[in-house]
Amino acid sequence: MKPATTEFLRQRFAEYYRKERVQAPPSVGEREFGFILFDPDSPEVRMRRHMGFGTAGEMGEYIRSIVPQHAFYSSAYYVAPGAGTMAEKGWTGADLIFDLDADHLMRGPYRLMLDRVKLETEKLLGMLTGELGFAGRNIQLVFSGGRGYHVHVREIGVRGWGSQERRELIDYVCGIGIDPPWLLSGSAAGHLPGWKERYISTISEYLLWLKGLGREKGVEELMGIPGISRERAPRFFDAIDAYLVGLGKGDSTPLLTNQVFSAIAGKEDGKFRELLRSRAALADEPVTTDTRRLIRLPTTLHGGSGLRVTPIPLGDFAAFDPLVDAVVFSDRKVKVDTGMKISMEMLGNSYQLGMGTSAVPEALAVFLCARGLAEIAGEADHAPR
């Protein structure tokens, strides 16, 4: 990034922090903070951390004074958050954090990545409130400003959980360690209704998919799975309708000890596991298990996009559009230089940029420069549509 581009971004961020009040997290005096600054002379990304503030006002004044490129705070609560070592801080608990990032799910156009990660977040919220009993009033949903969402659970009952308890919870929402015999047996009823239902619906979807291949291709598909013999494959295929009728009546016994189904369910990269994963909420596991995690500070700006790290009321999530609702900069015209063709949505408009110099709204210029897709070139009168 050229120095002029860095300075353009720093000035835009400074303008935002002059005008906007950054929301302090609950119990601000017990949190550690960390910041990455705009530094065109440093080839390394360096974080200024081990910082604590007594009040929200102190935090806000400091942010205005340094104009950070990125701002973070700890999910953990400490006795002395500003201490220089983790041992000296005095850990007293931590919020339960879930991080859903489209980078872990797919690659593609930014809009498609945002849409996909929103679906995963909706699944997670449904599990947390509908299956695990967390109250919506104790959940904060935040658009990360990048390619995903953060979910903060602040119920007192989970604050003291260690990594192992958090691991069990993230395993549940991600569908890790599912035990098919247990889920298909009567003992699972009333214990894991969510995953029992998801597992059985996955079996039905898989059987219908297999049947749709036709007998020849279906049998060939089965024989391609390790552990399924040439003799067993056609017998299993011919029994698909009977299995589906049984599942519809709540009887999964014929599949419980079926060796062919065991092989199907055990193939890590197979179609069945693909369908099963689609029913999980694919959050980033290490973030949830980390009891001392630094997470982006809501209402600050993401230095890799210029978008606002935006808190979202749960009831507003369905209508939330990051490329409208997290945009904070103006539509005044700015010239940028790009080294590639770029197609991008922002504020309800679609922009098609060629290589070279283009005039775009300031909000889009900030995004492209922050992402490393463009360099600042000046101001202009007209933007392409």
- Active-site residue set: 99, 101, 284
| Contact between residue 283 and residue 98 where contact means Cβ atoms under 8 Å apart | yes
What is the spatial distance between Cα 74 and Cα 64, in angstroms, rounded to a whole number?
A: 20
* Residue 97, amino acid: I
Give backbone dihedrals phi and psi of 181, rounded to 5 degrees, phi first: -60, -40
What is the spatial distance between Cα 382 and Cα 122, in angstroms, rounded to a whole number?
A: 39
What is the spatial distance between Cα 274 and Cα 254, in angstroms, rounded to a whole number?
A: 23
What is the spatial distance between Cα 123 and Cα 175, in angstroms, rounded to a whole number?
A: 12
**What are the C-alpha distances in Å from 137 to residues 30, 118, 134, 141, 175?**
21, 20, 9, 11, 25
What is the spatial distance between Cα 342 and Cα 346, in angstroms, rounded to a whole number?
A: 13
What is the Cα 351 distance to its own chain's centre? 26
Q: What would the two tokens of residue 294 be?
A: 């630094």
